[in-house]
Structure 1
Amino acid sequence: MIVVTGASGVLGTALVAALSSSGEEVVGLTSADGDLRDAAAATAVFERLRPSVVFHTAGRVHGIMGNQKYPAEMFLDNIRININVIDAARRLDCRKVVGISTVAAYPAGLRLPIGEDEIWNGMPHGSEEFYAHAKRAMLAQLQSCHRQYGMDYAYAIMTNLYGPNDRFDIENGHVIPSLVAKFHAASREKTAVNVWGTGVARRDFLHADDAARALLTIGKAHSGLFNIASGTTVPIGRVVEILSEVSGVADVEWDRTKPDGQLDRSYDVTRIAQLGFEVHHTLETGLAETYEWYASRYPDVRL
């Protein structure tokens, strides 16, 4: 049996669907199944299911504003969840854990594109540093369990994901879900869209369905660290242009008093490409699909 934690999130829902479509026996865990911050609750869930493989996508996630407002919670909640999930899996003889990390775990100021072996070569960017440290600690835990107990692992370093079932939090969310919610609100209320920064910062965006396909490949037979990314960066301004076209909202106001974050992030995708991974969603089609999904379900969406 395969268990996916965080199964109600943008990646978790895509991954459960992909695993089910491939014929795997899969159970998706959400917060309704227990609070993974609590060691006893995590142990109880894993004792009941006794999975052979765990895809650990659960965690507390915010964008730049959320990371700045809640640094302690971002660190502590994610540390607790990671420790409890991985330790429960290890104690119950789980064969493999695939830990889902983030490109925020990489040090700031590295030469681009960033390869997997760079992860310990400096401090992460200050805009997300405590979340990043929690994700780095997860890698250390996986590596220690492999060394002492022989538990197999993979550590998937995710770029900026987007898609249906995301958390569309305007104030504290990641850039794409936040912008989707902003453009939809502006469309409803006939107002302008306020966007942080200048729009010049470049990011690598990947649809959750594409990320899920990459994880299936890793989960089957591969170990170690893998960048999961499209291999292409676009400026935030281009995302704004696409959502403006999709939503019909042309009035955009840039708040240049707000931070851009790191100005460029690109990642070496050689390892995952060598396993045959290719991106299926273009940014244009993926954003249109995500906006339409959100608009068709509003207000019954995750915030």
Structure 2
Amino acid sequence: MELNAKIYVAGHRGLVGSAIIRKLEEKGYSNIVYRSSGDLDLRDKVQVDEFFEDEQPEFVFLAAAKVGGIVANNDYPADFIRDNLMIQTNVIDASYRNNIKKLLFLGSTCIYPKFAPQPMSEDTLLSGVLESTNEPYAIAKIAGIKMCEAFNRQYGTNFISVMPTNLYGPNDNFDLETSHVLPALIRKFHEAKIENAATVEVWGTGSPKREFLYSADLAEAVIYLMNNYEGTQFINIGVGKDISIKELAKKIKEIVGFNGDIIFNTSKPDGTPRKLVDVTRLNELGWQATISLDEGIKKAYEWFLNNTDATVVAE
């Protein structure tokens, strides 16, 4: 991508899209276009077609998606599969018909089978059953990968797909009902610190292991791949190492400055024992994550303090 190339970032307000825009601007890209969901409903084919015809972007980062945690996925499965299929279909098709130079589609590691061997390599896609709680969302994301592959094969497009591991950072969701584990723990420990609480409860035994990638590292990776990778094979993006929830909780407790105890509620479910992506292909392409988990959590906590009502305990 030339520095003056016209770049469209779909989903620019989210954790991923906002990180991509910050990184593009940091690198000197100056012709970035985006629209809020209020101005452009990506589920509406007519609106998407008009946008592409008017703007004629050269490169597209497709980071827009309907996302949520286990509860949201379980309660609104139809919304998750319908909205994501519509968003992807409209943007990918409009990109093809308007002859964009390259598109990068962002998926999710939930595409992998529930019992995929660890670490999860790209070759395990469609090799087993999915986790039932987020199956509709996963199927939509798998469809996005397959759409990119099919358009490349039939129309000669240059569409690539990436599958990031668990992400965190600025513009993350810190709502305790719908957030993922790392931002939820940041908020829990912060509120306990403000309240001078004696303990913080963490669900499960603390033994499951998870991998976490800071959003700025993800943005660095997708821009690198946009500039350096062409191919039908989708690419995992991660750090290649994981940490137990117990160790994660201890780390966040220390960074936040909570002085009480951690109580593990073993009556609550642990979830999948381990979810780690195989980043061999990504590393062989010449990219590795650089932001450590400690550094990333400190940055995420700083953003939380500066951008939420963090001085007042939630009611």
- Same topology, TM > 0.5: yes
Indicate whether 1:299 and 2:305 are aligned.
no
Aligned to 2:14: 9
Matched, 1:213 2:220: yes
C-alpha contact 1:6 1:56 (8 A) present in aligned 2: yes
Aligned positions, number: 301
Letter in 2 for 1:215: V
Q: Secondary structure at the match of 1:131?
A: helix
Shift of residue 127 of structure 1? Answer: 3.0
Code of the residue aligned with 1:164 in structure 2: it is P
Sequence identity of aligned pairs in percent?
36
Deviation sequence 1:50-74 (CA, Å, 0-9, x none): 1111110111111222222222222
The separation in 2 between residues aligned to 1:112 and 1:148, in whole angstroms, is: 33
CA distance in 2, matches of 1:4, 1:39: 17
Q: Does 1:112 align with 2:118?
A: yes
Which among 232, 238, 258 is matched to residue 247 of structure 2?
238
| From 266, 271, 293, the counterpart of 1:261 | 271
| Mapped contact 1:230–1:269 kept (Cα < 8 A) | yes
Following superposition, the deviation at residue 98 of structure 1 comes to: 0.6
User: Higher mean Cα deviation, 275-284 or 156-165?
Assistant: 275-284
Deviates further, 132-141 or 260-269: 260-269
Distance 1:190 1:79, change over 3 A: farther
Provide, for residues 202-238 of structure 1, a one-character-per-residue CA deviation record: whole Å limited to 9, x for no partner.
Answer: 1111001111111011111313310000000111122
- What is aligned with 2:313? none
SS of the aligned residue for 1:3 comes to strand
Residue in 2 aligned with 1:122? 128
Distance 2:98 2:80 in 1: 27
Q: Distance in 2 between matches of 1:132 and 1:280?
A: 28
2:168 corresponding residue in structure 1 = 162
Asked if the contact 1:97/1:152 (under 8 Å) is kept, the reply is: yes
Which of 4, 11, 20 is equivalent to 2:25? Answer: 20
CA distance in 2 between partners of 1:47 and 1:254 (Å): 54
Report the Cα distance in structure 2 between the residues aligned to 1:3 and 1:261, rounded to whole angstroms. 36
What is the 5 A alignment of 1:67-78? 67-78=73-84
CA RMSD of aligned residues (A): 1.8
Matches of 2:265 and 2:143, distance apart in 1: 35
Amino acid at match of 1:286: G
Query: Hey, what does 2:285 align to over in structure 1?
Result: 275
65-74 vs 203-212, which moves further: 65-74
Deviations 1:137-171 (A, max 9, x none): 11111112112211111110010011111122211
2:180 & 2:77 partners in 1: Cα distance?
15
CA distance in 2, matches of 1:48, 1:260: 49
Indicate the structure (1 or 2) with the bigger Cα radius of gyration. Answer: 2
Does 41-50 or 218-227 show the bigger shift? 41-50
Change (3 A) 1:288 1:113: same
TM-score by length of 2: 0.90
| Paired letter, 1:126 | S
Tell me if 1:66 matches 2:93.
no
Give the alignment's TM-score, normalised by structure 1.
0.93
